[in-house]
Amino acid sequence: MDKLQLHRTEIKAAPLLERFPFPFQGDSYRYSNNSRALTPPVCTDITPEYYEEIEEKRKLLDRYPERTFQAAPHTLEAQWEIMSMLMKELASVHADYFSLDMKGDQWTFYNRLLDETCTFVFGDPSTLPYEPLDFIGRHIQEDLIYLQQRDGDLYMDAGQLCFPANWSLAFDLGMTYLQFHSPVPIYSDSGLAEKVLGFLLRMEAGKPWTRINWTLNVGPRLDTSPEAFGEWGREKFGLNLDNVGEIMHLRSEDQRLFRIPGSNGILFSIHTHLLPFQELIRNQVWAERFCKVLEDLPDPLADYKGFISYKPLLIEYLKRHI
């Protein structure tokens, strides 16, 4: 039996519909800097999907290391700083599940959910089984991206990305903020991307921010990487009014941003949540608002998000259940 199946602790939380981060505040949607101060200033959430998602994360990391973890050599010091921050947070905020014993440079990290213990020398990579960012990422549900600030810009220099919404860490590594956002219509050519970059460059340590991003998922698959398009892309061709409620999911990404003071970079975490349409319509306010958002959404955005071909079907389904 897989180790992740053993001695599972029950993770208590509200039902999915109650805790899902619904991304729309109005009846239309446009790209904007919708960031808000993160209160409380916590990067990690532990949800009942923890075991399933960690198991999937580790399988992807082992099977496809080149597309799920990338890090430039000069990021190692920042990785240690991020791992330290996250371990201390887990041991403090989620003390029922994690603990951390620090005796000088010898640290011991306990994950009670997985019944795992790791003792290592902080700062010595030979004492960890993986690079620090990769190691801590295997214990949390969030994807982790590190943006290094230098020369008045932000560079994607490291990341553990197992659950991307159709973008590639291997392709984007080393790019600047404006470069890796260049495919995004309206956002990249309206001047908004430059404004958001300025906002990020001014971020202060100890004052994290959060935002909710969204797209749509055909099926419950979290890994929608372009490298795996052949596995998930074909699923959209079988949609109809009878199965769309079960198959289609609203995909909401809880994105959090932390200035890492020692390296002066930014940690960008992504916690992905999926809500089937058949669950979404149980909240009539959400269903009506989402329907209006889809009706109002410009075609370039629907095309970029990958659902323009079946957008009318989604709207019809929602209208039938409002």
Which residues form the catalytic set? 211
| H or E segment and range at residue 116 | strand 116-121
| Peptide linkage before 40 cis (omega within 30 of 0) | yes
Element (H, E) at 212: strand 209-218
Degrees to nearest 5, angle at CA 22 with 16 and 23: 150
Provide the token pair at 233. 């892309």
Angle value at C-alpha 317, between 275 and 245, nearest 5 degrees = 35
CB atoms within 10 A of CB 321: 16
Q: What share of the chain is helix, strand, coil (3-state, %, to 5)?
A: 40, 25, 35
Angle at 100 between CA 98 and CA 101, to 5 degrees: 145
Three-state DSSP state, 254:
strand
Q: CA 62 to CA 56: how far, in whole Å?
A: 10
- In whole angstroms, how far apart are CA 166 and each of 31, 172, 215, 222, 304? 18, 12, 10, 10, 10
Quote the CA–CA distance of 119 and 153 in Å, as a whole number.
36
Phi and psi of 79, rounded to 5°?
-60, -45
Of 50, 161, 131, 159, which is closest to residue 98 (Cα–Cα)?
50
How far apart (Å, rounded) are the C-alpha atoms in residues 217 and 161? Answer: 17
